[in-house]
Structure 1
Amino acid sequence: AVVIPAYNEADYLPATLSALRKAMAAVAAAHSGRVVVVDNHSTDDTAKVARENGADEVVFEPVNQISRARNAGARAAVTRGAEWLIFLDADTLLPPETLARALAALDSGAVCGGGAITVCDGELPFFVRNFLTVWNWSAAKFGLAAGCFVYCTREGYEAAGGFSEAVYAGEEVWFSNRLRKWGRRGGLAFRVIARPPVVTSDRKTQWFGGARFTLQLAILLLFPFAARWRRLCGLWYHRPSRDSASERVEPPDLPPGASPDRMIQNQTAPPPP
């Protein structure tokens, strides 16, 4: 099952679900699955848009916290018998080959889970671009999954205790560490897929600017327990006001004739530092 946590994601979900459905269709001969979108107390049409664009199930999570939304979706999926879980952000495009490689890894019985190298769909400010390069290198080197794409077995998810609800951001790092350690004890690998990368949006740098985004990341890196306070993780929860046209931020327009598939195909992962 694919779990998509979504808070006010009506603008981004159509492209994400379209790319996901095409990826799932590409592996349908060998694998079937469900798409679970978790409406994390949205104030827009997230739930309606999710249903209209191919979600098999929409779950409502009243507490606006990313980790709770992920866990709510996982519970719904496991209740219906899911043995493998994929967590995908609502602004992330999943290439068919990346999905196929994740499923093949789980199918091998030698992998407990993992993630993928990540690229953004726009031009990033200098510091953010270099942070992403360092993150991708670290993810591959040390076995860490970016929150926009995490895959694992049900058994691994449960053994790792799901995503920590004690933090408001960075929950994927804690989860990766617990899952990797659990897998190692059983001789299972934690695998980060290098190619093709998943494509996530650069909206946070558009909304808040590169300097503020970099500062927020630096705070969490230097003081990890800052993630326990929601007010210190505002970039993951604040959305620009829709009441003012001057503040409204829309997802990036596709050029004429373009599609989410083409955006995926045009992305390449940055080289390691």
Structure 2
Amino acid sequence: MSGLWVVVPAYNEERGITATLEALAAQRDRDFTLVVVDNGSTDSTAAVVRAFAERNPLPRLEIVPEPEKGTGAAADTGMRHAIARGATWLARTDADCLPAPDWTARVKAAFDSGLRLVSGQLLPRTDEGLPAVTRWVLVAAVEIASVFGRFRAGNRDPRYLGPYVMTAGCNMAVTAELYELAGGFPRSRIEDLHEDRALVNAVRLHTDRYGLRRDVVVRGSSRRARAWGLRNTLAWYADHRYRPDVVDIR
């Protein structure tokens, strides 16, 4: 059994999670275990996942409940479940994302190169009706934010062993030992904290063996951009400067 475990937090994703599961089942390297964390869903998310697992024996799939709502809490529960079951490598994507067919293979190659934390390339999905111009504005905005993130006060500390690298929680991987050493994802709600940024900065206190790998590709959902508009979406990701009444867009 491979030491790679993939964690997918999910909250009320009955309508969309099958596409994510299909993308993971279509991986060229299916030697991994998949953990879906049902984050207190009130719909049939768990039933959809179980039905998928019955139809698809690979990858190995487990469902773990986490009633404490929050992407950080759910992701941390999944990561620690995997570690307890013997995982050596942990990867995360989200239940509205589509990993590229070579995603797990590329993650393993990045670890083999010596990285202890892998930051992948996040691109918008092309199947959700968002205009191409808007998709590429989003891509450009992420690139700009990545550069400015290195100078942001919250990402600067003399104790850090390497530069800040923007790392999307829906496309990242980390060794199990480093995850525990860094304290893991904070068990936070998405409204309160960007748990991926917090984890990266915790990692930087312990190692400089992390980095961006553009060949590790996940396409993420643009449903926030469609619901909130481009400006508000960018403001949301910039320290929650935009705070809508409804965050869990479905």
Q: TM-score scaled by structure 1?
A: 0.72
* 2-structure distance, mates of 1:8, 1:219: 24
Find the counterpart in structure 1 of residue 16 from structure 2: 12
Compare the two structures and name the one with the higher helix fraction: 1
1:192 to 212, 226, 237: 212
Q: How does 1:32-111 map to 2 (within 5 A)?
A: 32-54=31-53, 56-108=61-113, 110-111=114-115
Partner of 1:130: 137
Aligned residues of 1:127 and 1:214 also touching (Cα < 8 A): no
**TM-score, normalising length: structure 2:** 0.78
CA distance, structure 1, for counterparts of residue 244 and residue 184 of structure 2: 20
SS of the counterpart of 1:4? strand
SS where residue 185 of structure 2 aligns?
Answer: coil
SS at 2:200 equivalent: helix
**Distance in 2 between residues matched to 1:125 and 1:82, nearest whole Å:** 39
Q: 1:196 to 1:131 in 2, by over 3 A?
A: same
Return the alpha-carbon distance in structure 1 between the equivalents of residues 188 and 221 of structure 2: 26
Q: Measure, in 2, the Cα distance between the counterparts of 1:218 and 1:126.
A: 21
> 1:164/1:79 Cα in 2 relative to 1: closer, same or farther (>3 Å)?
same
Q: How many residues of Structure 1 are paired with residues of Structure 2 in the alignment?
A: 220
For residue 38 of structure 1, report the CA deviation from its aligned partner: 0.5
Supply the distance in 2 between the matched residues of 1:76 and 1:65 (Cα, whole angstroms): 16
Aligned-residue CA RMSD (Å): 2.6
- Between the aligned partners of 1:75 and 1:233, the Cα distance in structure 2 is 31
Equivalent position of 2:199 in the other structure: 175
Shift of 1:131: 4.8
Structure 1, residues 165-210: CA drift from partner, whole Å, max 9, x if none? 25534110111122233222xxxx2121213631111111122232
**Structure 2: which 5+ runs fail to align?**
54-59, 151-163
Q: Is the 8 A contact 1:112 1:179 kept in 2?
A: no
Amino acid in the other structure paired with 1:22? A
| Residues 23-68 of structure 1: per-residue CA shift (max 9 Å, x gap) | 1xx224xxx3211000111111111111222361111111111100
Q: Kindly tell me: are residues 202 and 76 of structure 1, through their superposed partners in 2, closer, same or farther at Cα, counting changes over 3 Å? A: same
Q: Which moved more, 1:206-215 or 1:14-23?
A: 206-215
Confirm or deny that 1:149 pairs with 2:171: yes
1:114 to 118, 134, 156: 118
Q: Which amino acid aligns with 1:36?
A: V
Q: Structure 1 pair 214/135, CA: closer, same or farther in 2 (3 Å)?
A: closer
Gap change, CA 1:27 and 1:127, over 3 Å in 2: closer
Q: CA deviation at 1:119?
A: 1.0
CA deviation map 1:187-235 (0-9, x unaligned)? xx21212136311111111222324323323453x7xxx9xxxxx4756
Name the CA shift for 1:174/1:95 in 2 (closer, same or farther; >3 Å): same
Q: 1:27: which partner in 2?
A: 29
Report if the CA contact (8 A) 2:10-2:37 is conserved.
yes
Distance in 2 (CA, whole Å) between partners of 1:206 and 1:131 is 12
Cα distance change on mapping 1:33 and 1:196 into 2, 3 Å:
closer
CA distance in 2 between partners of 1:86 and 1:233 (Å): 29
Once residues 234 and 48 of structure 1 are traced to their aligned partners in structure 2, the CA distance between those partners, rounded to angstroms, is 28
